[in-house]
Structure 1
Amino acid sequence: MTGQTSNDDTDVIGMWVSADGHIRQQLRADGHYDEARGSRRSAYTGRYTVTGNHIDYVDDTGFTATGNIRDGVLYHEHLVLYRQQ
């Protein structure tokens, strides 16, 4: 599932940012993401799916990663990202 498609899945759509602003991950409603790192725009791009509060990522090179949202915070592998308002 992408974005929020049922009441069982967490709404993840929007911009998620590290505390220092260095990493910015845009999760789009179409199930694609675009992650910037520092001045490097689109450092990582790909698609994601949401199951409950769990996110599975597959970047355009085939690399996979996971994340979980707990208490409104996105824990993406070793990153901690906060929803930008």
Structure 2
Amino acid sequence: MKRRPVTISALILGSLYVIGPSIAVASSEVSTDSKPEQRSMENKMTQHPYVGMWVTDGGHIRHELLANGRYDEARGTRRTAYQGRYEIKGNHIDYWDDTGFTADGTFVDENTLHHGGMIFRRQ
């Protein structure tokens, strides 16, 4: 029986075929397991009663409290005027804007937020 010579490109392709899928699986496992605290907080915040959109009565200012502990504030036609993180303890909310600005507020009930002298309603 006559043997064919094996080329280097055939060896490389064969190696990629064998190694490729295991690398993809390994990397997805690492990235999934690398932030269990983040996933735990997101799962808890997804069910938090205050997560969602809060809007002033005129609709000019809109705070979206995201499940990952971040917020996105829109003002007028500016969709993302401010962004940052927030924490809720009881009915109190603290904001830390990415620019360094801090603020806080109080949830009066499940549909009313007092913040910065303004009243926000759940949308």
TM-score range relative to shorter protein: 0.7 to 0.9
Whichever structure has more helix as a proportion of its residues is 2
- Is the CA contact (8 Å cut-off) linking 1:4 and 1:12 kept in structure 2? no
Amino acid at match of 1:79: M
1:4-43 aligned at under 5 Å gives the runs 5=44, 11-43=49-81
| Aligned residues between the structures | 80
Which of 105, 108, 114 aligns to 1:75? It is: 114
Q: Which residue of 1 aligns with 2:95?
A: 57
Where structure 1 has 5 or more consecutive residues not aligned to the other structure, the ranges are none
- 1:14-40 deviation line (CA, Å, top 9, x unaligned): 000011111111000000000000001
Whichever structure has more strand as a proportion of its residues is 1
- 1:49-83 deviation line (CA, Å, top 9, x unaligned): 00000000000011100010002310012121000
Q: Which residue of 1 aligns with 2:5?
A: none
Q: Which residue of 1 aligns with 2:32?
A: none
Q: Which residue of 2 aligns with 1:45?
A: 83
Tell me the distance in 2 between the aligned counterparts of 1:64 and 1:31. 15
Tell me the distance in 2 between the aligned counterparts of 1:51 and 1:40. 29
Write out the 4+ residue segments of structure 1 that deviate beyond 3 Å after TM superposition.
2-6
Cα RMSD for the two superposed structures: 2.0
Return the offset for 1:4.
8.8
- Larger of the two Rg values belongs to structure: 2
TM-score, normalisation: structure 2: 0.60
- Percent of aligned pairs with the same amino acid: 54
